[in-house]
Structure 1
Amino acid sequence: MIDQEKIHCQCFSEDPEERIKALNQLNQNLSHISKKQQAWSDLHNLARDDSNKRYVRRDAILALGSAFKEISNKEKAWNDLIELANSEDSYVRYYAASALGSSLPNNSNKEQSWNDLIGLENDVDRDVRRALVSALRFSFSYVPDKEKAWNDLIGLTNDVDVHVRKTVAFTLSFSFSHTPNKEKAWNDLIKLTNDMNWRVRQTGAFTLGFVVSNAPQKEEIWNNLIELTNDKDSDVRNTATYSLGYSFLYISDKQKAWNDLHELTKNQDSSVRREIADVLGSVFSHIPDKELAWNDLHKLTNDEKSNIRASAASSLGSAFAYIPDKEQASNDLHRLTTDEECNVRSNVASSLGFVFSHVPNKKKAWSDLIILSKDKHKGTRESASYSLGKVSIYKASHAEEEDDYRRELETAIEFFEKAEPEYGLYGPSHFCLPFYRSFYSIVFGRHESRRKISRYEDIELEHTKKIIKGSKSKKLLLEAVENLANALKEIQNLDSLDIETTKGELNYYRKYCDRAAELMKETEESAPFATMTMRKGLPILDRKLKKILEEIQKKAKIACKESKGTDTEEIACAISKEVQNWEISSQEEMAFNVENLIFTLESNVPRIPENQYIFNRIQQIREQKDVPKQFGIVSTIIPLIPKIYMEQTVSEIKNDIKEIKGRVDYVIISLKPGIKEEIEISVGTEILGTGVTHKITIPLQEISYSELKEDLEKITGTKIDKLSKVPKRLANKIKGYLLLNDKEDVLEKLI
């Protein structure tokens, strides 16, 4: 139960830690809080209070942006955000701009809201202006008067800061598809490229590059950009060259476009050559004449300007897989490792990590990275350490032996640890370090590692989630490792659990691992070596699970042995026999195991008042949908088996069964063709000398699995006297279907 009054009091506490606790409570539970207006006021006060730490004010503002849609008095809520956007603290204004952008779609007066945002565009801080322009981008599609909104954006193209102008260009390109008058909007963009003010022309060059994917005039855009590469202003020229990289993919005549790019590699303006060096890396795979493109890139690695060599070094990493002369490309990277300029060496370190799988001499590449990891320049060290971590992951993904796999994974973590202090909070190692630490702990760790994984999960992985916004592959990989971490948490106390509860925990473990495997399929193309490394770890994880299952089976055998010579021998040994057939499998298969265990109990325990407590527990299992909890109930039944009251001796029961139970004569399983395919089970019986045939049909969609057809082909048309002779996967499916459809009497004859 959420105590909102307590949270409200904490917001005004003199203890800053109490205010932080209140903020966290409001952040996590806002949708469940009844007095939302009070919660809004509390968040607003936390955001306004300059005695709070900056990150507290930031999180309070972001929470306001998320909460806006749930607040009834939106006019007051909007005004509260506008007040924060006019704060004296630029840090507060920046996050208030973001909150306004996320709130506008939920505000009733969208026209006025847009005007409020435009009115804030004269902020003295460029980062605040950029945040406001980004808010406009996400708001444009919701504004009724889009023509006025478009003109407002055009009016922002003259900002004094290039980063703001670039954001304006991106916003214009994003908004272009929503403008009702495309012809006017297109003419406005062309006018930007001809404006007297160089800042406006530069914004126009940015915009043409961003808008090309949605504009029908792709060839015209290309020609305009080529013309702008001859502009009198250097900033306009290099921006136009930059935009050509965005446009190249969308131009149909690639040969003509390539000819234009080739000429720019010889441009006298070094800023243009620097940009074309970057462009070559991004479009290399689409260039028709890769031999000529490679020669151009090779020449640029020898340019007299260090920033051009740095760009060329970076492009070698992007283009390497498509370069025809990989030996020479490797030599260029090796030569650049000793470049006098640190930014060149840093880019080489990054590229070596990216291209390692393709380089002919991997030993030399590794040696170069080791040397660069000891460079005097901080940025070079961090790039090299990060690349060494990536290369170690590559090696782990190709390891043949488990010891080699483990060693390479440990080496990767060591290098990511070295890169972490260098990179700081937002370096790529900040994702890789907790990610691979977590995965390593899951696959190889014991209890100490499990405690560590909880710490990584609660602290480091939470930070990582904030960092990976926009990276789908990283989000999927993180979700995969979180599933594995959850699996680990489920069995932390495994050694202290009894047999049946352990089975339940084992099943939970497998459920999370199955989900992780599904996620890995989605990341195979975008993050192949990370995915391969994780996939190689799963068999090791399965071996750990197998050991647990073997222990369960061993204990079940002991229980059977101890019951020898007693009336409970048959049931104890039947359960042991059932458990011996269990395997590490999916949630569905483990659920079938529960059903089979219940069936064994119900078939063997006499239904008399003295045993009613057993059947009460069995009913609890049936009512419980959560498999681990089902196992927990079963675990309370197992110790009671020796105390079961047997009304008759086992031998007497067997004699009675022979007298009253029908004998299975044959079972024919066949596939019925047609629009609706079915399995037909024909059971022939002889009861008291009278032949009776009973037919049951099972629709294939009810028991579908990937290998069904293969299993059916093995037994179609064959007479079978026991279901145990049916392929195990099919047998489990049939068992499950019969149990779910109250055909336990038939199943009893088949087992």
Structure 2
Amino acid sequence: MPVNQNEIQRLSESEKEKIRTLQEMKSEFHQIPDKSAVLADLHRLIDDEESEVRWDAACTLIYIFSSVPDEYKCIAWDDLIKLTHDLKPHISGKAASNLVPAFSSLPDECKSAAWDDLIRLTDDNDLYVRESAFSVLINAFSSVPDEHKPKAWADLIRFSGHEDSRFRWMAFSALDSAFACVPDECKSAAWDDLIRLTRDRFLDVRGETSTVLGSAFVFVSDKSAAWADLVRLASDKDSKVRKYAADTLIYTFDHVPDECKSDARYDLQRLTSEGDPDVRIHLNHSLGKMCIDKAYKSINEEDFRTFLKDAICYFEKAAKDSSSFTPSLCCNLFYRAFHAVIFKEAHSNNEIKDYITAAKKEIEGSKSKQKLVAVIEQLATVLEIASNTQGSNNGWRELLKRGSNICNHVDKMMV
């Protein structure tokens, strides 16, 4: 932002000279051999009593920051932090908005102290400065040196319990990606931190933690113990935690070591038949969707048919546990009709009519009836196309994908 010329006119000659000097620094910094002298002048002008001078000093520092030699970067960072405390909001805001790129260009030896500066800024009186500090913490974890990551992780865990829900959400955004960067020897303790958060006093913390566990599981070394934690959470007293734990079990199953797969499969089967009704519905529905995805990706007709039949069984179980129209019932009716049509188990036209009649009967009384009628008609169109498609695995797969996308839309519609 250029300096207002009217402002310059009312400044003293000395102040005009300072601004000219800063503008020269900004344009010629790359070519000046003695950068230490330039940075010393800039350091002095950051404390100038005139806000116009401090503004230009802030703009200059931000502009040249990435080009400052590493031996002076820590001092330059300190100057930037000092500017975030400026009494003029436009100056403190300008400094705060540039913390992310500045942190990323710091040498490793400066980052631990810089991280602590950011932690202090999260308690700043200025909301924008606080938000900017949190933004850096979210983006900066991966660039923190390994020896400092355990402390940085502990800070993120602490912020996940922040009184302000916006900052809690920001902390979880960081935790989701940060876990992969935690040193291997610390991952077990970091996993335990997440498990503890599933018992937090804040409902949103318990729920958000359950979603982070899915991405974290992949990086845990003791997956057997981690799987046991997830199975336990599927019986948690908090319905949101149970639901997310069920999702996580499905998501992480493929990452369970082969020697533990049999026990893990037993856990899933037990939860789909003996567990909490909401968990049973959620697991069976998720397993059905997973089978549909495998059917779409299958190469031969036998596998396609097997996965499709398995999906129908899961959707049927989920639908039976439900007391009203659910996405599982929608899926069960459609995929059952789809299977009958493509494998000629019934007269196609009759099967399609029966599907439409049954589906419309089930949605009577639904708040989303009008939208669901449109969905039923879209799925009926898929069935009609399928009835006219000659025995072709590729054709079936594409139609299955199309039907799956429509059913997924029902999922979102009825959340």
TM-score where L is the length of structure 2? 0.58
Does the Cα contact within 8 Å between 2:210 and 2:241 map onto a contact in 1? Answer: no
Q: 1:115 to 1:296 in 2, by over 3 A?
A: farther
Does the Cα contact within 8 Å between 1:290 and 1:323 map onto a contact in 2? Answer: no
Which residue is 1:151 aligned to? 192
Residue aligned with 1:73, SS: helix
The question of 1:273 aligning with 2:326 is answered: yes
Which residue is 2:35 aligned to? none
1:136 to 146, 162, 175: 175
Residue aligned with 1:306, SS: coil
Q: 1:43 to 1:268 in 2, by over 3 A?
A: same
Does the Cα contact within 8 Å between 1:208 and 1:243 map onto a contact in 2? Answer: no
Give the superposition deviation at 1:113. 2.0
Name which structure has the greater RCO, CA cutoff 8 Å, separation 6+. Answer: 2
Which residue is 2:223 aligned to? 182
Which residue is 2:272 aligned to? 226
Which residue is 1:496 aligned to? none
Which residue is 1:541 aligned to? none
Residue aligned with 1:305, SS: coil
Give the superposition deviation at 1:43. 3.5
Distance, in Å, in 2 between the alignment partners of 1:49 and 1:276 is 60
Which residue is 2:315 aligned to? 261
1:112 to 141, 148, 151: 151
Q: 1:169 to 1:191 in 2, by over 3 A?
A: same
Aligned-residue identity in percent = 24
Distance, in Å, in 2 between the alignment partners of 1:245 and 1:10 is 62
Per-residue CA deviations over 1:199-222 (Å, capped at 9, x if unaligned) read: 442342232243244335475575
1:212-611 alignment, distance < 5 Å: 212-215=253-256, 217=261, 219-220=265-266, 223=269, 226-227=272-273, 231=276, 240=283, 243-244=286-287, 247-248=290-291, 249=293, 254=307, 255-265=309-319, 268-270=322-324, 273-274=326-327, 295=355, 299=359, 302-307=363-368, 310=371, 323-325=382-384
Does the Cα contact within 8 Å between 1:222 and 1:244 map onto a contact in 2? Answer: no
Give the superposition deviation at 1:100. 2.3
Which residue is 1:123 aligned to? 162
Distance, in Å, in 2 between the alignment partners of 1:50 and 1:311 is 57
Per-residue CA deviations over 1:403-443 (Å, capped at 9, x if unaligned) read: xxxxxxxxxxxxxxxxxxxxxxxxxxxxxxxxxxxxxxxxx
- What is the letter of the counterpart of residue 68 of structure 2? I
Give the superposition deviation at 1:188. 1.1
Distance, in Å, in 1 between the alignment partners of 2:63 and 2:373 is 47
Give the superposition deviation at 1:137. 2.9
Which residue is 1:32 aligned to? 67
Question: Higher strand fraction: Structure 1 or Structure 2?
Answer: 1
Q: 1:269 to 1:158 in 2, by over 3 A?
A: farther
Q: 1:258 to 1:201 in 2, by over 3 A?
A: same
Residue aligned with 2:383, SS: coil
1:644-683 alignment, distance < 5 Å: none
Q: Which range moves more in the overlay, 27-36 or 119-128?
A: 27-36
2:98 to 54, 60, 84: 60
Q: 1:265 to 1:289 in 2, by over 3 A?
A: farther
Structure 2 alignment gaps of length 5 or more: 1-26, 30-37, 296-302, 343-350, 387-401, 403-415
Does the Cα contact within 8 Å between 1:166 and 1:203 map onto a contact in 2? Answer: yes
Distance, in Å, in 2 between the alignment partners of 1:224 and 1:309 is 37
Residue aligned with 1:206, SS: helix
Q: 1:27 to 1:203 in 2, by over 3 A?
A: farther
Give the superposition deviation at 1:189. 1.0
- What is the letter of the counterpart of residue 151 of structure 2? Q
Does the Cα contact within 8 Å between 1:44 and 1:60 map onto a contact in 2? Answer: no
- What is the letter of the counterpart of residue 326 of structure 2? R
- What is the letter of the counterpart of residue 365 of structure 2? E
Q: 1:268 to 1:74 in 2, by over 3 A?
A: closer
Structure 1 alignment gaps of length 5 or more: 328-354, 356-751
Give the superposition deviation at 1:323. 1.4
- What is the letter of the counterpart of residue 231 of structure 2? I
Per-residue CA deviations over 1:65-90 (Å, capped at 9, x if unaligned) read: 533x5353223111111112344666
Per-residue CA deviations over 1:116-164 (Å, capped at 9, x if unaligned) read: 2222232112332232223223222323322111111111123466654
Per-residue CA deviations over 1:606-647 (Å, capped at 9, x if unaligned) read: xxxxxxxxxxxxxxxxxxxxxxxxxxxxxxxxxxxxxxxxxx
Which residue is 2:34 aligned to? none
Which residue is 1:477 aligned to? none
Distance, in Å, in 2 between the alignment partners of 1:276 and 1:14 is 66
TM-score where L is the length of structure 1? 0.35
Distance, in Å, in 1 between the alignment partners of 2:128 and 2:288 is 34
- What is the letter of the counterpart of residue 98 of structure 2? A
Give the superposition deviation at 1:263. 4.7
1:74 to 111, 117, 127: 111
Which residue is 2:398 aligned to? none
- What is the letter of the counterpart of residue 359 of structure 2? K
Which residue is 1:195 aligned to? 236
Q: 1:289 to 1:124 in 2, by over 3 A?
A: farther
Name the Cα RMSD after superposition: 4.8
Give the superposition deviation at 1:102. 3.4
Question: Higher helix fraction: Structure 1 or Structure 2?
Answer: 2
Give the superposition deviation at 1:46. 4.7
Does the Cα contact within 8 Å between 2:341 and 2:383 map onto a contact in 1? Answer: yes
Distance, in Å, in 1 between the alignment partners of 2:368 and 2:268 is 26
Give the superposition deviation at 1:110. 1.9
- What is the letter of the counterpart of residue 324 of structure 1? L
Residue aligned with 2:98, SS: helix
Residue aligned with 1:324, SS: helix
Per-residue CA deviations over 1:246-284 (Å, capped at 9, x if unaligned) read: 6443698522232221453465444x715765x78xx97
Q: 1:190 to 1:42 in 2, by over 3 A?
A: same
Q: 1:98 to 1:165 in 2, by over 3 A?
A: farther
Distance, in Å, in 2 between the alignment partners of 1:212 and 1:258 is 20
Give the superposition deviation at 1:298. 8.3
Distance, in Å, in 2 between the alignment partners of 1:93 and 1:240 is 40
In our comparison, the structure showing a higher alpha carbon Rg is: 1
Per-residue CA deviations over 1:333-381 (Å, capped at 9, x if unaligned) read: xxxxxxxxxxxxxxxxxxxxxx9xxxxxxxxxxxxxxxxxxxxxxxxxx
- What is the letter of the counterpart of residue 257 of structure 1? A
Distance, in Å, in 1 between the alignment partners of 2:61 and 2:352 is 57
Does the Cα contact within 8 Å between 1:48 and 1:57 map onto a contact in 2? Answer: no
- What is the letter of the counterpart of residue 196 of structure 2? G
Give the superposition deviation at 1:103. 2.8
The question of 1:207 aligning with 2:248 is answered: yes
Does the Cα contact within 8 Å between 2:84 and 2:93 map onto a contact in 1? Answer: no
Give the superposition deviation at 1:14. 3.0
Per-residue CA deviations over 1:497-534 (Å, capped at 9, x if unaligned) read: xxxxxxxxxxxxxxxxxxxxxxxxxxxxxxxxxxxxxx
Give the superposition deviation at 1:241. 6.5
